[in-house]
């Protein structure tokens, strides 16, 4: 394990909330999961549901254009990383519900801050994109 990985895995001894500094974390798959096209919409829809829990079919309808296969893969990845819990009910027909975990709620709180930043800066970013594109053409 590299010194940086040891520091990241150090857990509670990383320091208090007040003395944390931003340090990019090496690729660990979490950022890839959260930047996936469907992950945040799935988490968001679950966060709006009563009890933060939805059946697969309802979740698919509410997310929109997602295919059954993509929703299945997205939910498997979220379950693997501990963002959702899958509840299986052996009924006829079988019923499956997905529920957000505390990790997912924490991720959504973190993403909320980023969302506010995007909202506050989007007009400026779009203007800079237009200026850049004009200069390049």
Q: What is the C-alpha to C-alpha distance for residues 64 and 55, in angstroms, rounded to an integer?
A: 14
Residue 136 — very low, low, confident or very high, per pLDDT cuts 50/70/90?
Answer: very high
Task: Choose between 67 and 1: higher pLDDT.
Answer: 67
Q: Which H or E run contains 2?
A: none
**3-class DSSP assignment, residue 89:** strand
pLDDT digits (tens, 9 = 90+) for 93-106: 999 999 999 999 99
Confidence (pTM): 0.73
Please give the pLDDT value at position 87. 96
Residue 3 has pLDDT above 60, yes or no: no
pLDDT digits (tens, 9 = 90+) for 4-62: 444 444 444 445 556 667 776 666 777 778 888 999 999 999 999 999 999 999 999 99
> Going from the N-terminus, what domains does the chain have, and what CATH number goes with each?
29-136 (1.10.10.10)
């Amino acid at each position: 394990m590299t010194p940086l990985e040891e520091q990241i895995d150090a857990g509670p001894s990383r320091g208090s909330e007040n003395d944390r500094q931003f340090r990019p974390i090496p690729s660990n798959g979490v950022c890839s999961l959260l930047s996936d096209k469907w992950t945040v919409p799935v988490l968001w829809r679950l966060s709006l549901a009563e009890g933060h829990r939805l059946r697969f079919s309802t979740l698919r309808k509410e997310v929109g254009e997602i295919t059954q296969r993509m929703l299945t893969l997205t939910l498997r990845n979220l379950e693997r990383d501990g963002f959702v819990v899958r509840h299986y009910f052996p009924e006829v027909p079988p019923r499956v519900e997905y529920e957000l975990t505390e990790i997912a709620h924490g991720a959504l709180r973190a993403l909320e801050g980023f969302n506010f930043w995007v909202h506050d800066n989007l007009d400026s970013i779009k203007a800079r994109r237009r200026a850049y594109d004009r200069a390049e053409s």
